[in-house]
Amino acid sequence: MEDVREIFGCNVFNEGVMQARLPKTVFKALKKTMEEGKELGKDIADVVAAAMKDWAVEKGATHYTHWFQPMTGITAEKHDAFISPAGDGKIILEFSGKELIKGEPDASSFPSGGLRATFEARGYTTWDPTSYAFVKGDTLYIPTAFCSYGGEVLDQKTPLLRSMEALNKQAVRILEKLGKSVSRVTTTVGAEQEYFLVDKEMYAKRKDLILAGRTLFGAKPAKGQEMEDHYFGNLRTRVSGYMKELDHELWKLGILAKTKHNEVAPAQHELAPIFATTNIATDHNQLTMELMKKIAEKHDLVCLLHEKPFAGVNGSGKHNNWSMSTNTGENLLEPGKSPKDNTQFLLFLAAVMKAVDDYAELLRVSVASAGNDHRLGANEAPPAIISIFLGDELTNILECIEKGEVACATTKHFMETGVSALPTFVKDTTDRNRTSPFAFTGNKFEFRSLGSSASIAAANIMLNTAVAEELEQFADRLDNATDVEAEVMAIIKETVKNHKRIIFNGNNYSEEWVEEAAKRGLPNLRTSVDAIPEFSSEKSIKLFEKHGIFTATEAISRTEILLENYIKTINIEALTMLEMAKKEILPSVLKYNKEVFETLKVKQDLGLNINLEKELNYAAKLSNLTESFISKIDELDQVVIGVKNHETELETAKYYREYIFEAMQALRSVADELETIVAAANWPFPTYVDLLFYV
């Protein structure tokens, strides 16, 4: 068995490899770029490229690719061989600094929200030296940013890097005012990933899973998750084998996969990594999702990353554990032993608190998708209302600051089990709140609203930028302060007074909270269609342009892309439903109708003194449901045709939400009831029991 310490990062061109293979001056320059964002010269890039190529070839690589993250939600890659002609029918292996720095994929076929016309094809990828290159298969993967010929941003990485720079700039300003010698602040993220595993053979028989990623039909099984026996339960042999191989491959790529366990719903699981800088964590999460799917196939499984693949049981999310760290190793969201006396922590906490309140709409947009609409607020995930959980200790400290009182020191309590043989330990100062969309969990904030399939880039772009804005406001005040310490406390006090409405430590699932949030004036953007326009609101564009994240044109294009994606997703689902309903369910139901009525007719023709009342009632129910099912098919057909009358993307998206989505729900409701009375042998595809309990 391989030693994990030996294989970890073995396929990554990481700092250790660089130091061993690069001249000292080149390594020093590259490290400065990685740590401080300093630009690299072409001569340095040539040396790095040669070393990178030699290392990759030793690993079995024959090709390289500029690996980027367009607005498709997944990654993209174009593979080029290292070979170049050398005469006499021979070849040499070459890779230059120019090839490392610049790639040229077609930019017309990726989502651009109108930024690029079909005939405007040129786009550029450019090397991101802050994220390590790696070998996967026979290819050297080079993380890159992606933009159009005109310089417009077409990817997730570029604005993420910009947001990290914006936050770094303002956080360093704050720390300088507090007397700290810090040259860089980076945001860090650990992205917990939830997913489902289903049998490959069963999956292949479900057109909805293949085309839409979720079950568009499916009656609730006799058993779901109500027994709570799957959560943290013993791993099934097949699942355990899959997880073991997944860990192994992730470790080779330097991904710190730490925790694995069964989740709440049957067939649902979770993987959690140790945090990394936000840029690298984003790259790692994209790789994790890709490997989850590929490795599942080797085990005759299929990994489902849809936010709600099955109705009636929990869907899958992604918990974005976010914090800020200095180049000196300090976590700025670490409360320390006495949070009430840690003014630096309280100041950065206040900035986050104000950012979430001021830009709640943008945080909501960052998790908006057709898939996530099924999950948010469904008594299993945080609601669409954005709020912060701080816990009793921090809430009490902030309340005391607002009132001008001295907060009491927190009393340490020991966990007593009542069993003398078991060790005692100090309890945490506050409980957790799994219903909160944005919860403080000790030394970080856990943004829990992200959908399972989403790139974490969007959420972190919004979060970084919003916090950067508040830090800048704080820094400007400190620049003009004669007494910095007094001004810090004044800022914290004012922030608590003006933004305490965003703090909620109770049950976010309750109807009472919805009513209370409305009284507080908190936005409740229930659906993605409600939320997406906020991306390019006047307020949002002002924020983006101020910090150099997006231009107004780029923000508007992102809005169009999100709306297009929503429309296309619902359209694919509607067309898939119609095809399954017409070609699979209806023929099977009609055949079963025929069998039932023929059986009744035989009994009636016998002329025996038999009471057929209950059987006739059953047949009538079957017939009525069949008739209703055909009507619902026709209704969905009609609303799908009606979409042609709409012009703008927003109007079309609203139509899809209000009419097509509702017609889909109505069709499903009848189909699912039919599934409960039609003989199992007549039902055309695997049921929830087949999918959820046979892995």
| Among 228-237, 265-274, 289-298, the least confident range | 228-237
| Cβ contacts of 487 within 8 Å, gap of 6 or more | 477, 478, 481
Tokens of 591: 């055949």
Does position 566 have pLDDT exceeding 70, yes or no? Answer: yes
Does position 429 have pLDDT exceeding 70, yes or no? Answer: no
Q: Letter for the amino acid at 383? A: P
Mutual angle of helices 343-358 and 391-403, in 10-degree steps = 90
Please return the burial class of 575, using the count of CB atoms within 10 Å of its CB with bins 0-12, 13-18 and 19+. Answer: middle
Q: For the segment 105-161, what is each residue's pLDDT rounded down to a tens digit?
A: 876 778 777 776 655 667 899 999 999 999 999 999 999 999 988 888 999 999 999
Q: For the segment 622-644, what is each residue's pLDDT rounded down to a tens digit?
A: 999 999 999 999 999 999 998 88
| Cβ contacts of 130 within 8 Å, gap of 6 or more | 33, 34, 37, 161, 277, 279, 280
pLDDT score at 660: 97
Q: How many other CB atoms are there within 10 angstroms of residue 432's CB atom?
A: 14
Total H helices, total E strands in the chain: 25, 19
H-assigned helices in 257-339: 278-298
pLDDT score at 254: 97
pLDDT score at 118: 56
Tokens of 364: 């909501």
Q: What phi and psi, each to the nearest 5 degrees, are found at residue 480?
A: -100, 5
pLDDT score at 427: 64
pLDDT score at 59: 96
Asked if residues 247 and 260 have their Cβ atoms less than 8 Å apart, the reply is yes
Q: How many other CB atoms are there within 10 angstroms of residue 311's CB atom?
A: 19
Length of the chain: 695
Question: What is the C-alpha to C-alpha distance for residues 361 and 427, in angstroms, rounded to an integer?
Answer: 35
Asked if residues 167 and 185 have their Cβ atoms less than 8 Å apart, the reply is yes
Does position 255 have pLDDT exceeding 70, yes or no? Answer: yes
Kindly calculate the radius of gyration of the chain based on its CA atoms and give it in whole angstroms: 28
pLDDT band at 546 (very low <50, low <70, confident <90, very high): very high
pLDDT score at 430: 66
Asked if residues 73 and 318 have their Cβ atoms less than 8 Å apart, the reply is no
**For residue 68, what is the DSSP state?**
B
Q: For the segment 583-626, what is each residue's pLDDT rounded down to a tens digit?
A: 999 999 999 999 999 999 998 888 777 888 999 999 999 999 99
pLDDT score at 106: 72
Q: For the segment 36-94, what is each residue's pLDDT rounded down to a tens digit?
A: 777 777 888 999 999 999 999 999 999 999 999 999 889 999 999 999 998 788 888 99
Which long-range contacts link 132-136 to residues 24+ away (Cβ below 8 Å)? 132/12, 132/13, 132/14, 132/254, 132/280, 133/12, 133/13, 133/52, 133/56, 134/11, 134/12, 134/13, 134/253, 134/254, 135/11, 135/13, 135/56, 135/59, 135/60, 135/61, 136/11, 136/253
The three-class DSSP label of residue 318 is: strand
Ranges of beta strands (E only) in 334-443 are: 388-389, 414-415, 425-426, 438-440
Q: What's the per-residue H, E or C state across 644-672?
A: HHCCCHHHHHHHHHHHHHHHHHHHHHHHH
Q: What's the per-residue H, E or C state across 384-398?
A: CCCCEECHHHHHHHH
pLDDT score at 148: 85
> Which H or E run includes 450?
strand 445-451
Does position 379 have pLDDT exceeding 70, yes or no? Answer: no
pLDDT band at 414 (very low <50, low <70, confident <90, very high): low
Average per-residue pLDDT for the chain: 92
Alpha-carbon separation of residue 23 from 26, 45, 540, 614 (angstroms): 5, 12, 45, 87
Q: Write down the residue that tokens 């400065």 correspond to.
A: 32
State the chain's maximal CA–CA distance in angstroms: 104
Q: What phi and psi, each to the nearest 5 degrees, are found at residue 369?
A: -165, 160
Asked if residues 327 and 184 have their Cβ atoms less than 8 Å apart, the reply is yes
pLDDT score at 409: 65
Q: For the segment 299-338, what is each residue's pLDDT rounded down to a tens digit?
A: 999 999 999 999 999 999 999 999 999 999 999 999 988 8
